[in-house]
């Protein structure tokens, strides 16, 4: 079960220890970031098993390269997302078609009718996001699903904040057009 970050100093400490070879410290970092990296990968790849495999590969790559984080402990999150981003790019180039998105556990609602309506709306939104160009799709996922700010998204995607804002604006405009009045 992944846990929330409570103290950025704790992350810095764990990264320093992991960079020194402490596997237990890396295990704690894994627990902290697993759900976030999985969610980021899943929304891009749209297949549960493939997302699990890629997430595992991201953490294996991170463990192998953790020593390169020495002196950059405060940007560990960005570094980890960058590994995921690069791995996704490689994976997406090799895939001919994206798999359909699993609908399980999207929303928990008491009223069955409301639950169905929300699932349909979420599915429409996710399908529309899938139609966005890759860069716009990544910006939307990192911004609105992962809650990252434009500077961090820029570092992950190797773009400046202005380019991130433009991609976000274009993506939101496209989403509004395709979904009509549902996106405000």
Indicate yes or no: pTM above 0.85: no
Q: Which residues contact 147 (CB under 8 A, 6 or more apart)?
A: none
Domains of the chain: 1-102 (1.10.1740.10), 103-184 (1.10.10.10)
Rounded to whole angstroms, how far apart are CA atoms 30 and 67?
15
Q: Are 40 and 138 in contact (CB under 8 A)?
A: no
Place of tokens 């390169």: 68
Residue with tokens 């791995």: 87
Percent of all residues in the chain with a pLDDT value above 70, rounded to a whole number: 77
Question: pLDDT tens across 133-161, in order?
Answer: 888 888 888 887 777 888 888 888 888 88
Output the CA angle 123-127-133, nearest 5 degrees.
Answer: 150
Closest by CA to 63, choosing from 34, 100, 93, 103, is 34
pLDDT band of residue 35 (cuts 50, 70, 90) is very high
């Amino acid at each position: 079960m992944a846990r929330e970050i409570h103290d950025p100093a704790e992350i810095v400490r764990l990264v320093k220890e992991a960079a020194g070879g402490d596997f237990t410290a890396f295990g704690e970092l894994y627990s902290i970031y697993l759900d976030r990296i999985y969610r980021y990968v899943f929304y891009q790849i749209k297949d549960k098993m493939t997302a699990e495999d890629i997430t595992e590969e991201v953490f294996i790559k991170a463990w192998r390269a953790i020593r390169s984080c020495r002196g950059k402990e405060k940007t560990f999150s960005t570094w980890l997302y960058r590994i995921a981003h690069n791995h996704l790019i490689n994976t997406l180039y090799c895939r001919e078609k994206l798999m359909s998105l699993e609908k399980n556990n999207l929303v928990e609602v008491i009223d069955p009718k409301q639950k169905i309506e929300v699932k349909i709306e979420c599915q429409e939104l996710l399908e529309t996001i899938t139609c966005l160009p890759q860069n716009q799709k990544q910006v939307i996922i990192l911004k609105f699903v992962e809650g990252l700010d434009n500077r961090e998204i820029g570092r992950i995607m190797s773009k400046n904040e202005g380019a991130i804002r433009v991609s976000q604006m274009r993506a939101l405009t496209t989403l509004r057009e395709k979904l009509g009045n549902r996106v405000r």
